[in-house]
Structure 1
Amino acid sequence: MKIAKKHFLLTSGVVFIVVTALLTTLYFVMPIYYQSVKTAEVTREFTQVSQSIQGKSKDEMTALLTYYDKKNLRMWYALTDATGKLYYPRVETSDEGIAVQVSPFIAADNERAQLKEVITDGDGQNYTLEGEYSLQPVSDASQVLFELSPYLLFFSLCLGISLSFVYSRISTRRLKEISATTRKMVSLSPDVFCQVNGNDEIADLAQDVNTLYESLLRNMEALRLENEKVAESERSKAEFLRMTSHELKTPIAGMLGIVDGMIYGIGDFKDRDKYLKKCREILEEQSQLVQSILAISKLEMQDVEEETSVFSLSDVLEEQVGFYQTLATVEGYHFIAKLSPLEVEGNQTYLLKAIKNLLDNAFHYTKAGGEILLSVDENQLVIENEAEKILSKEQIKQIFQPFYRPDYSRSRKDGGTGLGLFIVQQILEQHQLTYRFEAIDEKWMRFSIFF
């Protein structure tokens, strides 16, 4: 059964039951209440009359009783002496020997009640004051109410049905609107929402539905972005595997040709000592490439946040400065380090690896006799070098791609694998750090990391 129908039946029944109970209560309680009120009123009136004629003469008493009879018709008074002789009301008769009994001022079949009080006049003679009143109007009112009850019940039933119909429609209107809106939410359109009217439970329900829908849309958007990231990651992995295969295939094919030449003694390949050294050089290059690939794989599989800690970056780099100063002396470079105290939060191992890759890259691409600067200051790390060739903006955009090398370095004289900056990018992005690689003039390249 729908809520509107339930409300209609429930409220109709409640209205009908309440009206029926009210009429029944009035039928039984009203006579009792009316009798109690009327009895109290006539008792007060009778007491007031008896007190007013107390100690008066016989004529004064009859005059006062006549006055009260005219003033109020709710009670009829009678005044008799000790022998039963009636003094009020006066009855005219021609025969004084006939005794007149005046007791029932009300018809014998009427419900009545009497009050009596002994009155003493001014001469000390006692009289009896009687007051009689009728209860017939109470019975009449109950009878009238009983006769009208079917019509009142019918009216209450009609009124209850009408009010219940209106109430059931109004009370369920907002619920129907919420239900219709939730059906529209299936489309996941961002402009669909429930109207919030009032401050009751239905308004709370509408607000909760809106909050739930907004949360669903946010989660769906986050899921879509995550799916795009996963799809992009899969494409990147496929591209990385393709480029890795190409990088490995060419030197392996070249080394196989050298080995075949040595086996069969073809031409210059008869000089095995020379070409064995050449094969070793090729294997060392491929070993470095494999190590870089393994480092990338380990970086992707491991959550860097698991080993996150707060450490002094300047102290960690201070331990590496001696090695790079020695390397600069051997290579003929000028290496300068300026390290101010700086506390950072992250994976110390991976951050140090990223910085060392940047320093190695700077040493590989610095012109002969050039300078390399390392500085840590004001929540940033900066590595600058006098480059043998300044990269263009287009080259800088591609420099972080795996196996990418500028045209002038494709001979691998620097011994690089083409994965150094790609690894740096992966580490910094996992730490959610901002970085920038740029040419600051016609001689210098700069890499900045902001903590």
Structure 2
Amino acid sequence: MPKAYDHQKKKDLEADVSVLAREITDAAPEERLSIVTDFASKWNANITVEYDALSYEVNLLGEEINPAPTKDGRVDTTIRFRKDNHDSQISLVNNIKGGADFFQAAQSFSDGKGHIDTVVSRQQIEDAVSTVLMILPFTAMICTVISVFFAIFYSKMYTNPIRKICSATEEMRQLKPQAHFMNVTQDEIGMLADNVNGLYRDLLTTIHELEREIKNVEEAEIQKTDFLRAASHELKTPVTAVNAMLENMLMGVGKYKDRDTYLARCKGLMEQLADMIRDILDTLKIGFAGVQECSKMDLADTLLTVMEPYLVIAKTRGVEFDIRLENSFVLQMPREMFKKALSNILANAVSYTRQGGMIYIYIEKQTLVIENECTPISPEHLSHIFEPFYRTDFGRNRTNGGNGLGLYIVAAILKSMDVEYRFTPSEMINGMSFQILLNQKGIP
């Protein structure tokens, strides 16, 4: 370190001497002495300037400093030549720059009119080095303590959040819903924690959606199995009846000798069987309603179109309609599936309205309401009314009560279109009320 400091000081001295030479060259004669003394004061130096037949000498170190003799016992000396007012003077002084405690710099002026000699003491350097060497152990100790302190501080500052992230991710690995990393920093670790939390939320959402889909698929499979089991049982009845009547007619047993009568009955049973098969096929197609294209349609126009055949049927039974559709609005839904649901609801209403009764159809707050006068269904039966092939007691048999698939198909269609519905005893009349809530399907 002392050698490096010596080298730097010499470079600084040489640079300042070069600057001094330029300043003396550019300055007026009366300003040069001030420039030289300022330089000597700055460096605490001996300096001699010979320029333009003028000599400037400042001696802040003293010229009588006795340097140490060399190994052969000689003492370095310097011969100085001075010329003032055309007089020459030669002097012999101790060469202080030959001592180990001093270093010097010399430079000639660029115009050749003189030169500069300066000598600077190394005592300041030695003092600085001694001071540095004295405080170096304490400085090193303090730096070590501070370094250890900050190393521990920063290691904890970075490792603690990482440990918390590891703990949170372990809970996430176990799919705990409450797993979450509480982030309190805005640095890169904080950004990582936010990304981990966001990723886990998305993962949980995806898992829950998959679980719901799996549950829906399982329920659909169970319903499908139950439906097919019930369908096979329902199909057996007319097939068995037709087969028995045909065998008896072929054998000419008893009343079955009247073939015309029982062939007509067989034909009726086969038509009933065909209707049931058609309804079963329609039910199986409902699963594809989600991929059907939705279209815009006016609720009143659609309802009136579906009602046409049921107006004729109702008239033959003395059943009248009270229709109020002034609050109609435009829907966007799968047209054919919705018309199928409306058709089954109207068929159910016409079939079970008592002789000479009324059917009320109106729109209220984007809800389609179809009410018919009949014997209200008990809560016991209502809990099963949407099950396939389910029939209530009072007259709802295969002869005049259908095959038990009508309301099941309605429920399946409306569920597939995500439409809410209610089937309850009416509060306005003595009968039942079917309500289809279409507030999510209307177009503003």
**TM-score, structure 2 normalization:** 0.74
Q: 1:153 to 1:41 in 2, by over 3 A?
A: farther
Q: What CA distance in whole angstroms lies between the structure 1 residues aligned with 2:238 and 2:2?
A: 108
Q: What CA distance in whole angstroms lies between the structure 2 residues aligned with 1:307 and 1:130?
A: 102
Match of 1:431 in 2: 417
Q: CA deviation at 1:180?
A: 3.5
What is the letter of the counterpart of residue 253 of structure 1? T
1:376 to 339, 343, 363: 363
- 1:222-233, aligned counterparts within 5 Å? 222-233=209-220
What is the letter of the counterpart of residue 206 of structure 1? A
Structure 2: any 5+ residue segments left out of the alignment?
A: 25-30, 39-56, 65-79, 439-444
- Per-residue CA deviation, residues 134-176 of structure 1 (Å, 9 max, x unaligned), is 253477579879989x989987996797465664554344234
Q: CA deviation at 1:409?
A: 2.9
Match of 2:255 in 1: 268
- Per-residue CA deviation, residues 239-260 of structure 1 (Å, 9 max, x unaligned), is 1111111111222222222122
Q: State whether residues 13 and 105 of structure 2, in contact with CA within 8 Å, keep that contact through their aligned partners in structure 1.
A: no
Where relative contact order (Cα < 8 A, 6+ residues apart) is larger, the structure is 1
Q: Is 1:32 aligned to 2:11, yes or no?
A: yes
Q: 1:157 to 1:273 in 2, by over 3 A?
A: same
Q: State whether residues 391 and 397 of structure 2, in contact with CA within 8 Å, keep that contact through their aligned partners in structure 1.
A: no
Structure 1: any 5+ residue segments left out of the alignment?
A: 1-21, 53-67, 86-99, 118-127
Tell me the matched-pair count.
387
Classify the secondary structure of the residue corresponding to 1:307. Answer: coil
Q: CA deviation at 1:83?
A: 3.2
- 1:7-46, aligned counterparts within 5 Å? 29-33=8-12, 36=15
Q: 1:107 to 1:317 in 2, by over 3 A?
A: closer
Match of 2:338 in 1: 351
Classify the secondary structure of the residue corresponding to 1:409. Answer: coil
Q: What CA distance in whole angstroms lies between the structure 2 residues aligned with 1:24 and 1:309?
A: 93
**TM-score, structure 1 normalization:** 0.73
Q: State whether residues 321 and 337 of structure 1, in contact with CA within 8 Å, keep that contact through their aligned partners in structure 2.
A: no
Classify the secondary structure of the residue corresponding to 1:398. Answer: coil
Q: What CA distance in whole angstroms lies between the structure 1 residues aligned with 2:347 and 2:2?
A: 101
1:253 to 236, 240, 247: 240
Q: Is 1:444 aligned to 2:423, yes or no?
A: no
Classify the secondary structure of the residue corresponding to 1:112. Answer: strand
- 1:47-446, aligned counterparts within 5 Å? 47-48=33-34, 73-74=60-61, 81=84, 82-85=86-89, 101-104=91-94, 106=96, 108-109=98-99, 110-113=102-105, 132-137=118-123, 140=126, 162=148, 167-168=154-155, 170-300=157-287, 302-340=288-326, 341-387=328-374, 389-441=375-427, 443-446=430-433
Q: 1:399 to 1:299 in 2, by over 3 A?
A: same
Q: CA deviation at 1:282?
A: 1.1
Q: CA deviation at 1:368?
A: 0.8
Q: 1:193 to 1:444 in 2, by over 3 A?
A: same
Match of 1:123 in 2: none
Q: State whether residues 46 and 131 of structure 1, in contact with CA within 8 Å, keep that contact through their aligned partners in structure 2.
A: no
Q: State whether residues 114 and 130 of structure 1, in contact with CA within 8 Å, keep that contact through their aligned partners in structure 2.
A: yes
Classify the secondary structure of the residue corresponding to 2:383. Answer: helix
Q: CA deviation at 1:372?
A: 1.2
What is the letter of the counterpart of residue 106 of structure 1? I
Considering fraction of residues, name the structure with more helix: 1
Match of 1:95 in 2: none
Q: What CA distance in whole angstroms lies between the structure 2 residues aligned with 1:132 and 1:30?
A: 13
Q: State whether residues 424 and 432 of structure 2, in contact with CA within 8 Å, keep that contact through their aligned partners in structure 1.
A: yes
Q: CA deviation at 1:275?
A: 1.3
Identity of aligned residues (%): 28
Q: State whether residues 35 and 138 of structure 1, in contact with CA within 8 Å, keep that contact through their aligned partners in structure 2.
A: no
Q: 1:75 to 1:357 in 2, by over 3 A?
A: farther
Return 284-293 or 337-346, whichever deviates more: 337-346
Q: What CA distance in whole angstroms lies between the structure 2 residues aligned with 1:23 and 1:215?
A: 65
Q: 1:380 to 1:135 in 2, by over 3 A?
A: same
